[in-house]
């Protein structure tokens, strides 16, 4: 079945870049997403990438997709304390909009 895995924790200094990684198993994944969840809140869509792309950039966010290795990453440039949150990657398969989420990576930004 589908499985999405992430490392649990990442700590970075303010101003540095953060890289959050994700691996997935479903080779039919069509869209891959990054969501942000602040404490006690719902999920906020940050960005998504279509499976036929290998990179997408949106301001401070860069998404890299290695479809051969089923590896997705999210790079946050110039990380700020407001970026501290849990980041989830998620995928949808072919002809379905059901989201399969990873376990989430807690990003902590320290001054």
Partner 1 sequence: EAEVAQSPRYKITEKSQAVAFWCDPISGHATLYWYRQILGQGPELLVQFQDESVVDDSQLPKDRFSAERLKGVDSTLKIQPAELGDSAMYLCASSLDMGDSQETQYFGPGTRLLVL
Residues making contact with partner 1 (CB under 8 A): 4, 30-31, 35, 40-45, 48, 50, 88, 90, 92-99, 101-104
- Residue 77 or 94: the one with the smaller Cβ distance to partner 1 is 94
52-to-63, 77, 109 alpha-carbon distances in Å: 13, 24, 32
User: Toward partner 1, which CB reaches closer, 64 or 99?
Assistant: 99
Least Å from the CB of residue 111 to partner 1: 26
Nearer to partner 1, 18 or 104 (CB): 104
Task: Considering the complex, state which of residue 65 and residue 104 has its C-beta at the smaller distance from partner 1.
Answer: 104
Closest separation in Å from C-beta 4 to partner 1: 7
Q: How far is the CB of 88 from partner 1 (least distance, A)?
A: 5
CA-based Rg of the chain, rounded to a whole angstrom? 13
Least Cβ distance, residue 14 to partner 1 (angstroms): 26
């Amino acid at each position: 079945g589908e499985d999405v895995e992430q490392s649990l924790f990442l700590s970075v200094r303010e101003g540095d870049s953060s890289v959050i990684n994700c691996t997935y198993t479903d080779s039919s994944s069509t869209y891959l997403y990054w969501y942000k969840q602040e404490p006690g809140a719902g999920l906020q869509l940050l960005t998504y990438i279509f499976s036929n792309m290998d990179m997408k950039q949106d301001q401070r966010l860069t998404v890299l997709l290695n479809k051969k290795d089923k590896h997705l990453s999210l790079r946050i440039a110039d990380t700020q304390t407001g970026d501290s949150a849990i980041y989830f990657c998620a995928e949808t398969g072919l002809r379905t909009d059901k989201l399969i989420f990873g376990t989430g990576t807690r990003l902590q930004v320290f001054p």
